[in-house]
Amino acid sequence: MALPMKCFYRVCGFLSSSQLPSHVICRNNATLSGQKDASPRRIFSGIQPTGIPHIGNYLGALQQWVQLQEEGHHVIYSVVDMHSITVPQDPDQLRENIYDMTACLLACGIDPDKSILFQQSSVSQHAELAWILGCKATMARLKHLPQWKVKSGPKEEGGVGLFTYPILQAADILLYKATHVPIGVDQVQHLQLAQDLATTFNYHYGQYFPQPTAILGETKKVQSLRKPDSKMSKSEADPRSRIDLTDSPEVIREKLKKAVTDSTSAVTYDPDTRPGVSNLVRIHSACTGLSCEEICRQNEGIETAKYKFVVADAVVAKLDPIRTEILRLQNDRSFLDSVLRQGARKARDIAEKTYSDVKKLVGFS
């Protein structure tokens, strides 16, 4: 499920440092090596293969994945194809999306020699552990999780997979005995479920699973270019609402040129009253490393229409090398297959050991 040095919660106005839950850390408040417990450091995160990632995915998650990798942590990243079928998928398109997502992750900087990168469905123990954990979860708890409430609608008409996928998500994490999980703020409650299931399992069968801690990214959330009050999303029908990692420089410039702002021409940062312009400033900040205050100061006197071209230049400079590498990797299926096979072998080595232990603890063997 990233970068200027401020905690995601605080820059988005959610919580102060003292209000953060105990299972959440901010990248600028704590380092992983500074925490003390008996479990070895291991990081797990996954991303669904639902199309080409957009700039919000990159700045909010994938860039952080690379940072964690380069810091030398034991990192495991998965293309979580099993999660993607909680909504209808065309099989041929899903196969393409798995390759595309793998190419995107590699182009963004995930190194299969430093990280484990694999396809979730290649490791059967994810589903097997999910069943055992599901037997310890309650329907009442799952009904209160945000994804079910949002996606099932007022009549709760979603499928069983949508209802239970947070349990599979918990299994993804616990199967590798992950100690830290990079997530967005919208996934905090799902991480809490994984924590609770680990606690419940340990209570019944003895201390085995570590308590996973959430790592919240430092980049402020990226909003839709067409509806700046809403988060940028791959599911939004209007392609002008987002910047995909494979967009050409010309397309990026055109999308930013037509980004919704307001009638005030000055470049200022005020998310409450000027969400459109503030979104552009956030994107500019994340692409350059400059603070929002520095950007507004540097662009004082520039009209918003001209400022969009400045933002476009910064975005193109950041994304065009990634785009070029994605396009190259998309034409090398044999290499992508080899990366996923290698990653699945490494992931399976860990998963088989964990599930063998779990079977003995539960009484299956």
* 178-198 residue pLDDT tens: 999 998 777 888 899 999 999
Q: For 324-353, give one letter per residue: b (16+ CB within 10 A) or e.
A: ebbeebbeeeeebeebbeebbebbbebbee
Q: Which of 104, 3, 131 is nearest to 47 (CA)?
A: 104
Active site includes 231?
Answer: yes
Contacts of 11 (CB under 8 A, 6+ apart): 218, 220
Backbone angles phi, psi at 80, to 5 degrees: -90, 75
What local confidence, expressed as pLDDT, does residue 190 receive? 85
Active site includes 114?
Answer: no
Asked if 60 and 222 touch (Cβ cutoff 8 Å), the reply is yes
Greater confidence (105 vs 145) lies with 105
Give the β-pairing of 75-79 and 24-26.
unpaired
What local confidence, expressed as pLDDT, does residue 36 receive? 46
Active site includes 346?
Answer: no
Sheet containing strand 213-216, strands side by side: 24-26, 213-216, 180-183, 43-47, 75-79, 115-119
Q: Which of 320, 349, 351, 344 is nearest to 98 (CA)?
A: 344
What local confidence, expressed as pLDDT, does residue 171 receive? 98
Residue-wise pLDDT for 83-120, tens only, equals 999 989 999 999 999 999 999 999 999 999 999 999 99
Question: Quick check: 26 pLDDT over 90?
Answer: no
Options 136, 227, 234, 359, the catalytic residue: 234
Residue-wise pLDDT for 322-339, tens only, equals 999 999 999 999 999 999
Question: Quick check: 142 pLDDT over 80?
Answer: yes
What local confidence, expressed as pLDDT, does residue 154 receive? 61
Asked if 200 and 136 touch (Cβ cutoff 8 Å), the reply is yes
Options 6, 114, 227, 231, the catalytic residue: 231
Options 151, 227, 346, 359, the catalytic residue: 151
